[in-house]
Amino acid sequence: MSTASRLPGIVTTDHVFQLPLDHAAPQGEQIEVYAREVVAPGREKDDLPWLLFLQGGPGGKAGRPLGRDGWLERALDDYRVLLLDQRGTGRSTPANRQSLARRGDARQQAEYLAHFRADSIVRDAELIRRRLLGEDRRWSVLGQSFGGFCTLTYLSIAPEGLKEAFITGGLAGLRSSAEDVYRAAYPRVVRKNEGHYARYPQDVEAVRRIAAHLAASPATLPGSGVLTVEAFQALGLLLGGGSGSGTLHYLLEEAWIEGAAGPELSDTFLAGVQAKLSFAEGPLYAVLHESIYGQRSVDRAGTEWSAERVRKEFPEFDAGAALESGAPVLFTGEMIYPWMFDTDPALRPLKETADLLAARTDWPDLYDPARLAANEVPVVAAVYHDDMYVDTADSLETARAVRGLRTWITNEWEHDGVRVSGGKVLDRLIAMARGEA
């Protein structure tokens, strides 16, 4: 059953699909997958081409449009858009500490979540395409970040469903292990720290002061999470977005307040940190993060908390050593660490489940290099020159491995360019696909 709503500049229609949890057992357990159709007013009955949007993540629900804004401003000129809540997110059958508790012990939860990677998301999309468009009609896809990874999987296992593909900040290394990913990521994060401290030199001492305070006495966050030095460093996740450095700076500006016993971390600061660090709205981001790189042919020993292991190769991220030496305390990036399952209440019940997923060694391959080398689907991709989240060298190597893929390499935007550019990034990619740029 579908329901329609009108918002400024858009008409939306809800769709809910019953799909197999395990696509290898289509008659087995079913889950709900939700998607929101968006079209320009007056064009509801037009025979428009469809554009499927695959959100970044993993574990991120599709955006909730309030009107014709952002990249939708450009997309709705030409397309009927489908915003997919990937399985386990948003209004699709949820996967979080509350719902997973009903599935049994950690092993049963891990087996369930093994069906929530890109290959399952793509097979969901293919079933939805057939139900909405029919067997023979293809659609376009826009994949942002992890959504771009999913698009590469789509091109590997079901290219017959695609008319064209747009990828933004999401060309994954086809044969990069989780270790490879983080070994390349830490130096990029160092550069983002250097850029932040060059922009806001006063933050060097501000961060050192907060880190020293937390090293002596971790703070309790409003949601009862624990703010340790390592958790504070994880605010570096912000540094990969266009406005992230400024957001971090303004958060630090209000860190302290004069309390009855002297200076203490302010409620304003702690609430702001809580909003940035809690995984309550998207626990799958943490639980599945490293498994998005897991492939039998690459990670034969499992991902095994690669970000934590590789971090030891980069002592500059040791906050204690930085405090002793007088060096700047560096923030980390989008890395997920096992201690997060101790400090975040939304993740604590899933700690053993996450450990089992990290130890898994039989992840199916997500990409088919031979099929990508023979690709016939038009593919264009925005590659951000110094993307903190996705390695540029990996992206360009993958671009060369996908037949016919054209890249636009730019330093005008950061990783979130498609979201913040007001449609400019998508407009450029559409023009490239049509031979107009």
Output Rg (C-alpha) for the chain, integer angstroms: 22
Question: Does 415 qualify as catalytic in the annotation?
Answer: yes
Beta strand pairing status for 50-54 and 139-144?
A: parallel
Which of 92, 145, 306, 421 does the annotation list as catalytic? 145
* Residue 435 Ramachandran class (φ > 0 left, ψ -120 to 50 alpha, else beta): left
Identity at 23, one-letter amino acid code: H
**Nearest-angstrom CA–CA distance, 319 and 227:** 14
Q: How many alpha carbons fall within 13 Å on the CB side of residue 101?
A: 6
Query: In terms of Cα–Cα distance, which of 161, 43, 49 is closest to 430?
Result: 49
| 3 state DSSP class of 107 | helix
**Nearest-angstrom CA–CA distance, 108 and 124:** 22
Residue pair 345/93 in contact (Cβ under 8 Å)? The answer is no
Question: Does 145 qualify as catalytic in the annotation?
Answer: yes
Which of 46, 47, 136, 362 does the annotation list as catalytic? 362
Instruction: Please spell the DSSP secondary structure of 224-243, one letter per residue.
Output: S-EE-HHHHHGGGGGGGSTT
**Nearest-angstrom CA–CA distance, 329 and 331:** 7
Which of 180, 415, 416, 421 does the annotation list as catalytic? 415
In angstroms, the Cα distances linking 237 to 2, 248, 338 are 37, 10, 16
Residue 102, C-beta contacts closer than 8 angstroms, at least 6 positions apart: none
Catalytic residues: 145, 362, 415
